[in-house]
Chains A and B, each alone.
Chain A
Amino acid sequence: MALKLQTKLTLFNTISKLAIVLLFVFLLPMLIKNINHTYNDGRFRKQEAKLLQIVKDQGIGVYIQNGEGYGAYLPLKEEYILLDEADSNYNLDTIRNEKRKVEKDTIEYRILSHTFKVGNKNYLLEIGKSVSTLDETSGPLQSIALQILLGMIMLTILADFFFSNYILGPLDIIIKTKLIAHKFPNFGSYQEVKTSTADFKYLDKSIHQMIETIESTFQKEREFISNASHELMTPISILQSKIENMFNRDDVVDELKIRLIEMQKILNRLKSITKTLLLISQIENEQFIKDDTIQIKQLLQDVYDEISIRLEEKDIALNMNITDDVALQNVNKFLLYNLFFNLINNAIKYNKEAGEININSYIHDGTLVVEILDSGIGISAEQLPFIFNRFKKFRQSLQQESFGLGLPIVKSIADFHKIRINVTSQLNVGSTFTLVFPNYNSITQKSIIQ
């Protein structure tokens, strides 16, 4: 699954921040405990110093009289202080956690133990604080921290999102306006994408340069075909006129005339190819004007009149089921005539003896659809994608030769009129060519000027 760059960045940001925050929240009790203990230990030391100062100033007697130790507890036993005589070789100076039994309860205390000598006596000072009071803040802190941090994450994600949206905006524009399939390569005016990001500027310029290269290559190819076919016309013309004049001479015997006819046929073939290439190049160079209004039924009838002899020849039945009063506007009649002629001609050429052809039209989703179905030899699935390529010849016509330019003509005429062509086919069953016309008008028979 491919995601957009912005989505990926936002996702990564969210997940990484969330992971860090969760780790932090998870470690929070330990951190708090550490902080508390460190702070508490500092307090112990201060208290110890104070106490020792008091002992130093006022003597030990302030606390200990007659060997009676001093002890003081806060009412809930969360803190205590204890001063007592200790064994003379007992030497301690620690702060650690220890369990103490206080009136049936075992409570864990953090205890500072410190021995000191006054005179020749050894004393032990203990200051204790219950661990549970030390750590009791960590739970609420944890949940508060979590909430605050989650809120902050949301805020930063939003900020990230808007910023990345802003920063990646130009990329989006480049993709949408210049790279989407049906727009690429979009020849025409170059519009610079506004961006302050150097990389996008570079990308935009590169794409533009690439499109220019493609465009000029296309242009060169079109010019070449156009020029080549034009240049071929003159020599063909000369040859044709020479053959015709020779054929009309009385001193040329019939034997030679038959040869001349063979030459004429080959020349006609050359003419056809050249004419077709020229037509395709003229269509691609937009040399035709689309200002005719035609009735589809009438146009198909004209094609039928022209082509009926070929139907008779193979005993093919042609059934037309065409919507009345549908007119196509802003089209080129000559070109559409050629388009249908070639399609129907193919439907005949690749049909079987006594086969049939059905031509239907209907309105679908506000567009005019014309289908041409034949019961012919069909096109194999692996050849189907290439049928519109020039000079591709793979279907063995049953009857006559062709030079593989019929469908390329159809394709370029369709593209010129923005007609969509779909082809489906099944070997030995037949093919269906579907044409979808973008703009048509339903109008009455009378309003058409033929």
Chain B
Amino acid sequence: MTVPPTVRPVAPHSADVPEPAVDMRASLAWAALPNPVATASGCAANGRELARFYPLSRLGAMVTKSVMLAPRSGRPTPRMAETPSGMLNSIGLQGPGVDAFVQQDLPWLKSQGARTIASIAAGSIDEYAEVAARLALAPPGTVTAVEVNISCPNVEDRGLVFACDPHAAAAAVAAAREATDPSIPVLAKLSPDVTDIVSIARACVGAGADGLTMINTVLGMAIDTTTLRPVLGGVTGGLSGPAIRPVAVRCVWQVHAALPDVPILGVGGVRTGLDALQLILAGASAVSVGTAVFNDPGAPLRVLGELRTALAERGFERLRDAVGYAHRALGDGADRIAPAVPAGPSLQDFAPDAEEAL
């Protein structure tokens, strides 16, 4: 354990201040990243569209859209519904299949200087093994890590979500780990829609996952009150965006508390640097920006800049010192999950206005 840095009060940031010097290097298992901000699977396609806005090499990593074995059309439209501070989607893992991904997208991403975390999905354990095996045929150096999506909610049979059952989750991860180059770390992407995410996390790590991605979308639904029918073509869909950030922070917190040595890629509702900092303080070693990209294509780099400033303001010289810091702040020997609530300002502090406020 390193000594916690001396935390100083947060000072307001001025735009004139030069970029603060913070060591932003991050790692996911043994995959080294120049910074901790990545895209999120399904929110950045495979990079070509975002590359029009900035060089992908400036991202910590590109997490690509989950690719399956065969080309896949996805689900019918409407595939999207806006919800308060979020959106529901029922895309259904549309994509060209793993062979096209390996031949076209991975070499292109490498040529752009991107570090690629390749997300794979499947409908069966055998398919996980097959997709991972085809991915392993990619040119050397094109895949930084493999993310095993065992939690996409848009499969036709909700019962097929591997991440809802520790045995199925472990089997899928084991199949993917087995077929993947041992030098490439494998991350398991977990669903928040479970009773005990820690037990799923343990099962995945036990099956060979080198790290975890948390969280996938939360299963949700919207009904059109004009047509009196479900809005989405797929009826139910995945809820994403700032609306689910507290769920992501909680999941990362719980799993980091139970498995402090397992690296976590935190995902869920990150829109600002302070949002990213929450996930890092909860235990994430790196952070993905997902739905916020739809609102602001430049969000990942903006979040990176805001995070660097936020770390500097809090006296952190290195990003990695902040990973899981919120757990330490509870004090030694505390194995409780809920932090003590600090005493808030009392009414006496606002004596002149207190009565008006009441």
Q: Do A and B come from one complex?
A: no
Chain A interface (Cβ within 8 Å of chain B)? none
Chain B interface (Cβ within 8 Å of chain A)? none
